[in-house]
Amino acid sequence: MAQASPNRTVVEEVTGWLRIYSDGTVERLTPPGGEPFTDIVPPYTEPRAGVTVHDVATDRGIEVRLYLQEPAAGGSRRPVLVHFHGGGFCVSRPTWALYHNFYAPLTAKLKVAGIVSVYLPLAPEHRLPAAIDAGHDALLWLRDVACGKNVAYSAPVERLRKAADFSRVILIGDSSGGNLVHLVAARAGRDGMGALHPVKLAGGVLLHPGFAREKKSRSELENPPSPFLTQEMVDKFLALGLPLGDTKDSPYTSPELAAKAVEHVAMPPLLLMVAEKDLLRDPQVDYGKAMVLAGKEVETKVSRGAVTHIFYLNFLAVKSDRLTSMRTKELIHAIKNFINHH
């Protein structure tokens, strides 16, 4: 970050989340009422509900947060999830309570070896494709771990190596992280899946991905904003996250162009989760349809009722609202079924 100038002025702002100043500095904020979700959860080595949490600096120049399940009886190997957080490519970290309170228990519920959550580089300092590169580097690191090469081993990494079935690596991402599931899988497909051997992408789970177009969809015009997504956030975060000069009519965000870009690329099976009252419901559904037309295997499931963008991460609502709780359980069940079948 550049040194702050006393005469600086705000040149761009995303209300409650982000300010960019005339001297180039970027300030990330917590909106009023958002403090419970942005609280930092430190790593811990004593199991809580059978799961430990570790922060690891990899030899690939990225950091990851590991959610590790306690070793399975009999030593059977289990799938690994690689998680990409949301935040419109501009805000949020894996350490936030928003993610911890969902992904730590999810590790146990899915009975996976672990979840690898990537610390993504944030825009506007690091515009796309920086986050795609980081996601790909996470897969290369998993390949290094599986092969036992070029890895600074620690006890958590060794636990992951012994427990993981590296032929069943599944990408999962929330909001803009859902876009990264598509984009990182496409990157691996263009390189040739054999380039990651023995790591194999067995699937991808896109949770309320951030697909959008320049022309507003019906859901953007008619659905209400939510605490975690407003039209301002869609427009400004994507403008700051996309490469300079790009618009939302880009293969990074347009559902049709994203599908067209992978017509001749090997893609793993995908599970697409959509919320009925999400602002981005329509482009998400259109993405699923466009991918099927492109010959890809995509299963789309819509969470019905008055549930909005990334409702399952709102742990306060999950605890207090019956519909949110029910739909979250259904979402987890869908993810579990998808993993079990791939």
Closest Cα partner for 269 from 196, 209, 200, 202?
202
As a whole number of angstroms, the distance between CA 339 and CA 21 comes to 44
- Environment class of 148 (CB within 10 Å of its CB; exposed 0-12, middle 13-18, buried 19+): exposed
**Catalytic one of 83, 100, 182, 309:** 309
**Catalytic one of 137, 144, 174, 278:** 278
**Catalytic one of 92, 117, 175, 303:** 175
The residues facing 96 across adjacent strands are 40
Please state, in angstroms and as integers, the Cα–Cα distance from residue 331 to each residue in 68, 203, 295, 300, following that order: 21, 16, 25, 12
Catalytic annotation on 278?
Answer: yes
* 113, 79 contact by CB (below 8 A): yes
Catalytic annotation on 246?
Answer: no
> How many CB atoms within 10 Å of residue 4?
12
Cα within 13 Å of Cα(322), Cβ side: 0
Please state, in angstroms and as integers, the Cα–Cα distance from residue 32 to each residue in 15, 37, 99, 133, 319, following that order: 10, 11, 19, 33, 20
Catalytic annotation on 92?
Answer: no
Residues annotated catalytic, as ranges: 175, 278, 309
